[in-house]
């Protein structure tokens, strides 16, 4: 892979993001309405069909951490009475707000005209937007997305969510934006989403090859960025995914691996499946702990929090509101533990992984509660060795490099020993 | 204390602290086909379980009584204590008499615990109860009524005694009576806290979670009658509300510590599910719709539910304080409890804006040291007595 082709999708993404934040900064002048919402269950196509711009607070929080700003923000929130025990994304966001609301690209974020509380797969979301509502005093719509406790979305759940969208959310969006609901526009956007989703799945599934042309965790968090945030269903988004796919396919055809902090990882010693979100405060150091050892991640669950497209779901322009309900319901953190186990076990098998690793973060009960049972169950079903490591999302106090490194090194040794045992 | 009352409190203590669940096992053993269904905090519609022929059994953790041997292998240190003690109860066989387990949508920990149960105990009927977060019946009545109907059908299949008009009527009547008695108990304590130490109130309520509702009603009636005969001497104490302990329960020692430090608890969130519905469920019409409506209309505002009205959220503490004629608020939450801890800054800001004195602390159900709480609560009580409360 040439450096130029690699740069094409990255560059495209950078430009898209910069332009989006520029528009957000100018929104108070241009009058473009702004809707804050969450990554899981984000209804980007719908928001944008009303001419509004989405803001995803989790993305701001993780970007703040990557830029080394989260600790000060968390400290500001804790000083104002927030507990050390709760999700650090929330505190990072509140701290950022109190520190002038300057977003990740250095531009100021506008106030929301609407908080779209898509309650999908995480209890904390509810409190987070109740807290933001106190700060902004803007209208808030609550979209209750039931949990897929029995491993599937039931027709009743679908009807419940669709009804809320139709009867509650659409009127609220019409009121806030001053525009009528335009179903044709939404359909068009959903069709664009589906094509980007095809491209993304092709990219993620390229990791079945050996060597894998991508890192499906550390690398893929960049790949899912546009589709998990403001760009699903947009032309820029579609261009990005087409470019990304051709880059990855080219890399695959040449038998090359991904670019990592340790350089190109063409020679891959360990193929891993990872469960749980990454740490963002030391993202590259963390990645390096893997890439230095020749470990590549071939599948991850974190890259499914904004949609589980690799199980076949595509946004369907033929049923615009129903498909949005289906989308929300299927986001990874809205899946039951048995469904998560099943997904991980399938990844281990289908991606020919040497093992799987759970990165458990202190912040997130939605991900973390039950992960030790997941560990045992996936080990039992696949026979692959599992490992369990812990840190946090954006609170650096819980990232202990020495511990993590030691833990990972012994895990890699364990895989080596298993291999030696299998050969003997 | 009269011997009658002492005997009632002893009975309640024995039932509340019995993590072998003898009362429930005994009830099951009385007839061959009898079964029981457990439920986690905060709210599960006990009427549905009862009408479907099963005994409802509240599983609220194991406090200080049960040593955690296996539970810690299931939960990381940064997750509250409740799920590890619940798993401990299950892994040690103490919950083996439950044919079904219901997991209300209280938080992500309980949500995921439902999945742990599905994985560990495939023979038990596991049900996640997705309580509506939207209280507008136009949007959520059909959904919630459907959930109740499905639950009743499933439980009826387990008991082989599906709910009938008669069992619905009986279950709703009994639960209405139990709620009325709980309301009366709370009102009595509010009006004369010297008559009802919170330790006794708590033990009775906790016992009510694990015994048949008829037994609970009988004991509550006796207890209330017994306290009428025995008004204690009014004392100069700070009247406080304990807010935030709705799921993982505080150790009894903590409750006693607060009251011994010069406070009278005049309202609280302990075992909140038993009075989450503030009014009777009607016996008219379709019982499922009646229960669903009662939840949507009457569910008490608490941290596990969405509050659509920001003003109501800000005023919640003041309203509760006034209703209980309290002087101050003690925010007591389980460590790592997302619903309580994320809500606390908002509730506290509302309280402080209304000039209400507040203190806050965290506990775990198995906390054994209370010195620090004693000092904090003592200073709080003194300052209220000296400077006055929020009224
Ligand atoms: S608790 Fe987890 S899913 Fe929820 S906001 Fe925090 S990190 Fe995201
Ligand atoms: S104590 Fe809090 S976090 Fe723990 S299970 Fe209960 S509600 Fe959830």
* Rounded distance from Cα B156 to ligand 2 centre (Å): 29
Structural tokens at position B59:
């599983």
Distance (Å) of CA A366 to CA A41, A399, B302: 14, 20, 20
| B144 closest CA partner among A123, A157, A326 | A157
What pLDDT, on a 0 to 100 scale, did the predictor assign at position A7? 58
CA distance A66 to chain B (A): 23
Nearest ligand to the CA atom of A87: 1
What pLDDT, on a 0 to 100 scale, did the predictor assign at position A106? 87
- What is the C-alpha separation between B268 and B83, in angstroms, rounded? 22
- Pick B74's closest partner by Cβ from A83, A133, A372: A372
Is there a contact between B335 and A362 (Cβ–Cβ < 8 Å)? Answer: no
3-state secondary structure of A271: strand
Is there a contact between B94 and B24 (Cβ–Cβ < 8 Å)? Answer: no
The residues pairing with B104 across neighbouring beta strands, listed in sequence order, are B129
- Atom 2 of ligand 2, residue of closest alpha carbon: B337
Q: Is B302 on the interface with A (CB under 8 A)?
A: no
Contact call for B108 and A123, based on CB within 8 A: yes
C-alpha dihedral (B294, B296, B299, B303), degrees to nearest 10:
160
Q: Is B26 on the interface with A (CB under 8 A)?
A: no
Burial (Cβ within 10 Å: 0-12, 13-18, ≥19) of residue A262: middle
What pLDDT, on a 0 to 100 scale, did the predictor assign at position B1? 72
* Rounded distance from Cα A31 to ligand 2 centre (Å): 42
pLDDT value at B390 more than 70:
no
User: What percent of chain B is helix, strand and coil (3-state, nearest 5)?
Assistant: 50, 15, 35
What pLDDT, on a 0 to 100 scale, did the predictor assign at position A244? 97
Q: What is the percent of chain B where pLDDT is above 70?
A: 99
| A277 closest CA partner among A395, A118, A403, A128 | A395
Q: Which of A99-103, B59-63, B220-224 has the lowest mean pLDDT?
A: A99-103
Among chain A residues, the shortest Cα distance to B145 is held by A156
Question: B165-194, pLDDT tens digit by residue?
Answer: 999 999 999 999 999 999 999 999 999 999
Is there a contact between B262 and B378 (Cβ–Cβ < 8 Å)? Answer: yes
- Pick B308's closest partner by Cβ from A82, A137, A142: A142
The DSSP code for B102 is: E
Distance (Å) of CA B46 to CA A191, B82, B212, B213: 46, 21, 11, 10
- Which site among B72, B76, B364 would you substitute to test the A interface, given the most A Cβ atoms closer than 10 Å to its Cβ? B76
Is there a contact between A143 and B129 (Cβ–Cβ < 8 Å)? Answer: no
* Mean pLDDT of all residues in B93-114: 98
Structural tokens at position B101:
């387990």
| Average pLDDT per consecutive 10 residues, chain A (424 residues; last block may be shorter) | 57 94 96 98 98 97 95 96 97 95 89 98 98 96 98 97 98 98 98 98 98 98 96 97 97 97 97 98 98 98 97 98 98 98 98 98 98 98 98 97 98 95 82
Sequence-distant (≥ 6) Cβ neighbours of residue B198 within 8 angstroms: B189, B255, B256, B258, B259, B264, B265, B268
- What is the C-alpha separation between A38 and A396, in angstroms, rounded? 23
- Ligand 1 atom, smallest distance to B338 CA: 1
Q: Out of B59, B63, B109, give the residue to mutate to test ligand 2, the one with the largest number of ligand atoms within 8 Å of its CB.
A: B109
Contact call for B112 and A366, based on CB within 8 A: yes
| Averaged pLDDT score across all residues of chain B | 96
Question: B128-155, pLDDT tens digit by residue?
Answer: 999 999 999 999 999 999 999 999 999 9
Residues of B with Cβ-Cβ distance to A160 under 8 angstroms: 139-140, 142-143
* Rounded distance from Cα A25 to ligand 1 centre (Å): 26
Question: B230-269, pLDDT tens digit by residue?
Answer: 767 777 899 999 999 999 999 999 999 999 999 999 999 9
CA distance A253 to chain B (A): 41
What pLDDT, on a 0 to 100 scale, did the predictor assign at position A424? 76
pLDDT value at B321 more than 50:
yes
Burial (Cβ within 10 Å: 0-12, 13-18, ≥19) of residue B207: buried
Q: Is B214 on the interface with A (CB under 8 A)?
A: no
pLDDT value at B389 more than 70:
no
Distance (Å) of CA B309 to CA A54, A94, A361, B312: 23, 21, 32, 5
| A207 closest CA partner among A310, A296, A308, A101 | A296
Tell me which residues have their CB closer than 6 angstroms to ligand 2: B 80, 82, 106-107, 109-110, 247-248, 334, 337-340
- Pick A370's closest partner by Cβ from B113, B143, B314: B113
Nearest ligand to the CA atom of A65: 1
Is the pTM above the cut of 0.90?
Answer: yes
CA distance A422 to chain B (A): 29
Q: What are phi and psi of A294, to 5 degrees?
A: 80, 25
What pLDDT, on a 0 to 100 scale, did the predictor assign at position A3? 37
Structural tokens at position B51:
């009408």
């Amino acid at each position: 892979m040439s450096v130029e082709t690699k740069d094409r999708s990255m560059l495209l993404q950078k430009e898209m993001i910069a332009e989006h934040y520029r528009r957000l900064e100018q929104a108070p002048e241009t009058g473009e309405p702004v809707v804050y919402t969450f990554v899981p269950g984000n209804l980007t196509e719908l928001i944008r069909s009303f001419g509004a711009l989405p803001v995803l607070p989790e993305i701001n929080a993780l970007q703040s951490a990557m830029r080394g700003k989260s600790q000060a923000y968390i400290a500001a929130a804790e000083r104002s009475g927030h507990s050390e025990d709760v999700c650090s994304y929330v505190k990072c966001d509140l701290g950022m707000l109190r520190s002038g609301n300057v977003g990740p690209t250095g531009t100021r974020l506008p106030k929301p005209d609407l908080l779209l509380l898509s309650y999908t797969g995480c209890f904390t979301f509810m409190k987070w937007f109740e807290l933001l509502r106190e700060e902004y005093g803007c209208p808030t719509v609550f979209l209750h997305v039931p949990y897929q406790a029995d491993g599937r979305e039931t027709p009743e759940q679908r009807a419940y969510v669709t009804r809320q969208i139709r009867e509650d959310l659409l009127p609220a969006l019409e009121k806030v934006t001053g525009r009528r609901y335009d179903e044709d526009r939404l359909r068009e956007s959903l069709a664009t989403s589906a094509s980007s989703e095809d491209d993304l799945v092709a990219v993620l599934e390229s990791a079945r090859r050996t060597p894998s042309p991508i890192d499906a965790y550390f690398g893929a968090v960049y790949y899912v960025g546009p589709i998990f945030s403001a760009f699903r269903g947009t032309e820029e988004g579609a261009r990005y995914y087409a470019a990304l796919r051709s880059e990855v396919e080219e890399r695959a055809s040449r038998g090359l691996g991904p670019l990592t902090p340790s350089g190109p990882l063409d020679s891959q010693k360990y193929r891993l499946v990872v469960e749980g979100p990454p740490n963002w405060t030391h993202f590259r150091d963390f990645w390096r702990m893997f890439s230095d050892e020749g470990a590549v991640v071939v599948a991850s669950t974190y890259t499914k929090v904004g949609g589980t497209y690799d199980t076949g779901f595509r946004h369907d322009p033929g049923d615009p509101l129903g498909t949005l309900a289906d989308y929300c319901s299927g986001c990874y953190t809205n899946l039951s533990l048995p469904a998560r186990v099943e997904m991980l076990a399938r990844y281990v098998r289908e991606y020919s992984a040497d093992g799987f690793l759970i990165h458990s973060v202190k912040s997130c009960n939605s991900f973390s509660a039950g992960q030790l049972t997941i560990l045992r169950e996936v080990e039992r079903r696949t026979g692959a060795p599992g490992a369990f490591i812990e840190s946090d999302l954006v609170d650096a106090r819980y990232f202990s490099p020495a511990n993590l490194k030691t833990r990972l090194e012994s895990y890699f040794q364990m895989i080596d020993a298993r291999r030696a045992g299998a050969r003997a | 204390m009269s011997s009658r009352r002492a005997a009632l409190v002893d009975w309640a203590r024995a039932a509340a602290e019995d993590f072998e669940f003898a009362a429930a096992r005994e009830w099951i053993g009385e007839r061959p086909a009898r079964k029981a269904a457990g439920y986690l905090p905060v709210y599960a519609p006990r009427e549905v379980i009862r009408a479907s022929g099963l005994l409802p059994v509240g599983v609220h953790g194991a406090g200080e009584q049960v040593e955690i041997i296996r539970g810690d292998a299931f939960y990381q240190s940064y997750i509250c204590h409740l799920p590890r003690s619940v798993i401990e109860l299950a892994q040690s066989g103490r919950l083996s008499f439950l044919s079904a387990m219901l997991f209300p949508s209280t938080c992500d920990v309980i949500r995921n615990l439902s999945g742990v149960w599905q994985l560990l105990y495939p023979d038990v009927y596991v049900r996640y109860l997705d309580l509506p977060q939207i209280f507008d019946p136009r949007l959520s009545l059909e959904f919630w009524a459907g959930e109740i109907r499905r639950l009743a059908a499933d439980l009826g299949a387990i008991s082989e005694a599906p709910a009938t008009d008669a069992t619905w009527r009986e279950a709703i009547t009994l639960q209405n009576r139990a709620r009325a008695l709980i309301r009366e108990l709370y009102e009595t304590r509010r009006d004369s806290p010297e008559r009802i130490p919170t330790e006794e109130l708590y033990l009775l309520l906790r016992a009510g979670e694990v015994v048949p509702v008829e037994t609970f009603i009988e004991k509550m009636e006796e207890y209330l009658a017994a306290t009428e005969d025995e008004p204690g001497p009014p004392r100069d104490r700070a009247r406080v509300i304990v807010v935030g302990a709705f799921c993982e329960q505080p150790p009894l020692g903590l409750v006693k510590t607060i009251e011994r430090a010069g406070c009278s608890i005049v309202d609280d969130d302990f075992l909140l599910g038993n009075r989450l519905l503030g009014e009777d469920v009607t016996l008219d019409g379709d019982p499922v719709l009646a229960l669903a409506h009662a939840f949507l209309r009457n569910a008490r505002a608490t941290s596990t539910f969405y509050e659509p009205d920001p003003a109501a959220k800000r005023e919640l503490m003041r309203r509760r304080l006034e209703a209980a004629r309290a002087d101050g608020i003690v925010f007591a939450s389980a460590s790592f409890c997302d619903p309580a801890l994320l809500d606390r800054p908002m509730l506290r800001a509302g309280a402080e804006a209304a000039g209400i004195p507040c203190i806050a602390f965290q506990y775990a159900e198995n906390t054994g040291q209370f010195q620090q709480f004693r000092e904090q609560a003592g200073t709080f009580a003194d300052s209220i007595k000296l400077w006055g409360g929020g009224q």
